[in-house]
Every structure is written in C-alpha cells, then in structure tokens.
C-alpha cells in the first residue's frame, strides 16, 4: 500500500523537477543568446548582427524580459515547494507583466529600423516581421494560459510554450551556430524551436502516452510565428507594410 500511495507523489516530484529544469535551461539560453548585445555587451564579439548602442527603450526591453524569465523560474520553484497560494498570487503580476511586454516588444521592433539592428541578410523594414510575429502568438498563449489557470495540465504547458517562444527566436537564434545568411538563420530558428519544444513532447509521451493538446497549441502558435515572418522576409513583401507602421524609424 505504501508503494502504491507513493506513486502519485513520485510523479508529481518528477513533473516539478521537469518544469524547474526547463525554466533554468531557458534562462541559460537567453543569457548566452543575449550576452553579445545586452548582458556582456562590449565584452564578447557581436554575432551574427550589428551591436548598436543601447537606448533606454532597449534597456527596458531587456530588463522586462529578464524579469519575465526570472518570474517564470520563480513560479516553477513555488509550485515545486508546494506554495501554490503564492504561485497564484504571483500569477496576477505575471499576467500584468505579459501585458506590458506586448507594447515593449512592438516599440523595440519598430525602433530597431533606425538603430539598424537587423542581421546582414535583410533590411530593417523586412526584419521587423520577425519580432512583430512573436507578439500575437505570445499574447494568445499567455491569454489561454490565464483562461485555463484552473486546469493545471493546460496552464503549465501554455506558459512554458509562451516562454519557449520568446526564447528560441530572440535568444537561440543569436547563438553563433550558423553563418549569418537567410537560410542559415532559417535553419537555426526552426531547429531552435524544435530543440526547445522537444523535451515537452518527450515528457508528454512518457507521462501521458500522447502529446497533450496544450503542447500542440503552443507548438503550432510558435511555428506560425516563425513560418509567416520568414515567408514575408523571403518574398520581401513586408517592407511596404512595415514602413507605414506607427513609430517606424523613430
């Protein structure tokens, strides 16, 4: 009987460890990816794109997303410690932070045209498709996670998916693993998405015997946030639209 009773506890412990480790892994990816342009600026070489100055808006962007990553780690640690009461209270602040991140992401994206922060294989206007493409997917995943906050299997996977989304594109794609070309970037971006989602797919298969619908939701939303902007850049059809966006070139 003791062995049978301990099985659910062991399963909960393994699940908590999985999410805690994923959170720490994603933080490491963010730090490595943004070391040249933010965390270790002027200490490590800028690759694969120029390393312009850091105006206040960009510093705010970096600090806000650092706070998001730290909040995600804290939330997983609170659940692991059994402090769901604090986790739920902090969840309100996390959603507010997510809402603030949306305009911060937009401003940083459109102001990047004037800063010429785009990689060498495209121009500034077309490049805005990449960061702007993240916004609707991120907002959707966080909204759905909040809406399903009482359904733990959905909530935790959607929040993890939202965090993976803002890591593999902005963070993983900056790690110098491929030449600074369009196809090099494309392959690395798609590979990064698959690599960071792979542990969640494997976890679902091992614990549920199938991939949870929330995991598919997060993966498909992320895939669309990659495929659509890459297509717009490849066809150079985004620039005529981007030049009319509020704040471009400011």
CA distance 128 to 185: 15
pLDDT value for 4: 46
Longest dimension (CA), the chain: 68
| Per-position pLDDT tens, the chain of length 250 | 444 444 555 878 888 899 999 999 999 999 988 888 888 887 877 665 556 677 888 889 989 999 999 999 998 888 887 787 787 888 888 999 999 999 999 999 998 888 787 888 889 899 999 999 999 999 999 999 999 999 989 999 999 999 999 998 888 888 888 888 899 999 999 999 999 999 999 999 999 999 999 999 999 999 999 999 999 999 999 999 999 899 886 6
pLDDT value for 50: 56
**Global pTM?**
0.89
CA distance 26 to 161: 11
Tokens of 163: 């965090």
pLDDT value for 5: 45
Q: What is the DSSP string of 92-140?
A: HHHHHHHHHHHHHHHHHHHHHHHHT-S-TTS-HHHHTHHHHHHHHHHHH
CA distance 94 to 115: 30
């Amino acid at each position: 009987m003791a062995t049978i009773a301990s099985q659910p506890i062991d399963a909960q412990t393994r699940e908590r460890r999985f999410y805690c480790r994923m959170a720490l892994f994603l933080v490491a990816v963010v730090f490595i990816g943004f070391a040249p342009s933010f965390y270790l600026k002027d200490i490590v070489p800028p690759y694969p794109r120029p390393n312009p100055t850091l105006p206040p808006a960009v510093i705010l962007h970096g600090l806000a997303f650092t706070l998001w990553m730290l909040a995600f780690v804290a939330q997983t640690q609170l659940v692991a410690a059994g402090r769901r009461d604090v986790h739920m209270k902090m969840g309100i602040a996390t959603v507010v932070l997510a809402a603030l991140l949306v305009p911060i992401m937009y401003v940083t994206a459109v102001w990047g045209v004037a800063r010429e922060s785009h990689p060498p294989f495209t121009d500034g206007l077309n490049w805005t498709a990449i960061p702007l493409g993240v916004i609707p997917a991120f907002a959707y995943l966080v909204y759905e996670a909040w809406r399903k906050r009482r359904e733990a299997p959905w909530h935790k996977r959607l929040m993890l998916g939202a965090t993976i989304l803002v890591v593999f594109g902005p963070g993983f794609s900056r790690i110098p693993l491929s030449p600074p070309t369009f196809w090099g970037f494309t392959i690395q971006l798609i590979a990064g998405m698959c690599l960071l989602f792979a542990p969640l797919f494997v976890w679902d298969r091992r614990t549920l015997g199938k991939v949870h619908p929330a995991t598919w939701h997060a993966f498909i939303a992320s895939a669309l946030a990659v495929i659509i902007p890459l297509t717009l850049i490849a066809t150079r059809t985004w620039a005529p639209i981007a030049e009319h966006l509020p704040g471009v070139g400011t």
